[in-house]
Chains A and B, each alone.
Chain A
Amino acid sequence: MRVRIDGVAVLAEPGRTVAGLLLAQGRNAWRTTREGGRPRGVFCGIGVCYDCLVVVNGVPDVRACQRLVCDGDDIRTQHGAELPS
């Protein structure tokens, strides 16, 4: 499968979660907080903490650890609170 991460084309295997893909790319942060603009990535890894939020196909607030990658997904960093585009 081919997906884009912050505009860069990346290959992904079926069964990859967005978090698994991003970590395998060597990234461990892909969101900034609303108040302090601080970087965040995976914390709980099982869908509980909502820290690993990412924008997928224009939809913000998607948990990267729970979302399985689909072919053609456009994945990008989430900056603070975002509205759907």
Chain B
Amino acid sequence: MSPAGAHPVVVVGGGPAGMAAARAAAAAGAAVLLVDSGAALGGQYHRQNSLHGGREFTLPAGVEHLAESQVWALEPVPGGHRLHIRTGPADSPERAGRTVDTAALVLATGAYDRALPFPGWDLPGVFTAGAAQALAKGQGVAVGERVVLAGTGPFLLPVAESLIAVGSRVAAILEAGDPVTGWLAAPGGVVAGRRRLAELARYTALLARRRIPYHHRSTVIETHGTGRVEAVTVARLDARWRVLPGSERRVAADAVCVGFGFTPQLELAVAARCALAGGFVAVDIAQATSVPGVYAAGELTGIGGAELAAAEGELAGAAAAARLLGARLPAPVRALRRVREGRRFAAALERAYPVRDGWRTWPRDDTVVCRCEEVTCGELRRAVAERDAVGVRSVKLVSRAGLGLCQGRVCGRAVAELAGLDDPGAAFARRPIAAPVRLGELAEAPPDEPAEPSPGPQQHPTRLEREQP
């Protein structure tokens, strides 16, 4: 609970960026409320084993940590924003509702794996790389005994390490891209990322010791099995990621983990009307978005890893506190330098591991594209061609793709690309209900009351947060 009358800096997300933001804001003297959907701090990167209690991270006094809490809607109110939150066991109708108003909001909602549709990607036994990582690190559970990893980007390597640690045998790691060429084209990025070379050396040694094959320009193009994955078809790819005919071979596996980079969790930033650039939230040097009082940090502003996220979080938290307290704080020089270097590395990473458009030839007509609504690639193409769907709304309505429970989080980008929509990275990001809530929960939401969070040091005597019965 924040002190009565104090309007806290509100941080959404408890990963590296959110934790750093909360610490920086508290250090500057602001009251802080950190809202996170996880039961333990750390987010996806520092995934703690919840069987061991998850107490690895602590936050300073002055930070209220609201765990197991979902922000399901965000709306502008005079002077700031109002967050609607449900707290309690995931998806339980018994969660407690609460609304919080703030004049200084830090969004650190992170990102999740990007998956591409291919025949059989909806068969049980196909996981995202992040799922394999979360289950291995968070639960000590292996997703399979004999696992194939496929996708693009360096994240496949730590996932392989985690899988081996819980007893899986990694049959192969398939990198669809050609990262050597990509890195050679960006030598500045190698310099900026030099601190990661030790980590890379560790993975290379692990792969050699375990004799795990690592192939460039190949991927899993199909899974086989009755009710669960029993084998996969692996194929070589050309420079645009089209399958090289005749290169297909069958590999026995009971699990496949796929990850083609990451998709930012944009819905709260979009609800706050923050400007986007290239599918990410646009920020200035202090992590301020285009909307006064709203800051963004971490993967939301570009995929750059935990170190960059934490540095951005530190800047965002300090800026949010400065706004709230009406104070001028000394510039966090070290964090600024880390952000500059991190962004250079992130840009090089993006150039080294692009997703090539040849993936659009992988799904067949009967391949499910939207997993929730079970819309196939053929149905989507026909809906777009025959019913002349232009724009995301009409594509959704004529095909039903992206209308299911996940609201296009998994398929949105792929659907947008297959349907030829503009700005495919952000086309599906508008979700006024940011997370599904039950009708009963909606029905008990309180009527809106006027509240004016103040950005200055003078505080209103009223409490801006309310607890519902």
Question: Which residues 37-58 of B sit at the A interface, judged by CB distance below 8 A?
Answer: 37, 39, 44, 49-54
Question: Which residues 9-60 of A sit at the B interface, judged by CB distance below 8 A?
Answer: 13-17, 19-20, 23-24, 28-29, 33-36, 38-51, 53, 56, 59
CB distance from B163 to the nearest CB of A (A): 13
The dominant DSSP class at the B interface is loop
- Which residue of A is nearest B139, CB measured? A20
| Cβ A42 vs Cβ B410 within 8 A | no
| Cβ B406 vs Cβ A49 within 8 A | yes
B436 surroundings in chain A (CB, below 8 A): 50, 61
B238 surroundings in chain A (CB, below 8 A): none
Complex interface: stretch among B85-93, B297-305, B459-467: B85-93
Proximity string of chain B (208-241) to chain A, C-beta cutoff 8 Å, 1 when within and 0 when not: 0000000000000000000110000000000000
| Cβ B131 vs Cβ A46 within 8 A | yes
| Cβ B406 vs Cβ A68 within 8 A | no
Complex interface: stretch among B119-127, B149-157, B355-363, B446-454: B119-127
- Which residue of A is nearest B49, CB measured? A15
- Which residue of B is nearest A57, CB measured? B92
The dominant DSSP class at the A interface is loop
CB distance from B56 to the nearest CB of A (A): 13
| Cβ A33 vs Cβ B124 within 8 A | no
A63 surroundings in chain B (CB, below 8 A): 90-91
B371 surroundings in chain A (CB, below 8 A): 40, 43, 49, 51
Interface size on A, as a range, is 35 or more
B126 surroundings in chain A (CB, below 8 A): 43
A56 surroundings in chain B (CB, below 8 A): 92
| Cβ A70 vs Cβ B44 within 8 A | no
Question: Which residues 125-139 of B sit at the A interface, judged by CB distance below 8 A?
Answer: 125-128, 130-135, 138-139
Proximity string of chain B (85-115) to chain A, C-beta cutoff 8 Å, 1 when within and 0 when not: 0000111110000000000000000001101
Chain B residues near A (Cβ < 8 Å): 37, 39, 44, 49-54, 89-93, 112-113, 115, 122, 124-128, 130-135, 138-141, 143, 227-228, 255, 265, 371-374, 404-406, 409-410, 436
Can you name 10 A-B residue pairings with CB atoms under 8 Å? A16-B51, A40-B371, A44-B130, A44-B410, A45-B130, A45-B133, A45-B135, A48-B406, A49-B371, A66-B37
Chain A residues near B (Cβ < 8 Å): 13-17, 19-20, 23-24, 28-29, 33-36, 38-51, 53, 56, 59, 61-63, 65-68, 70, 84
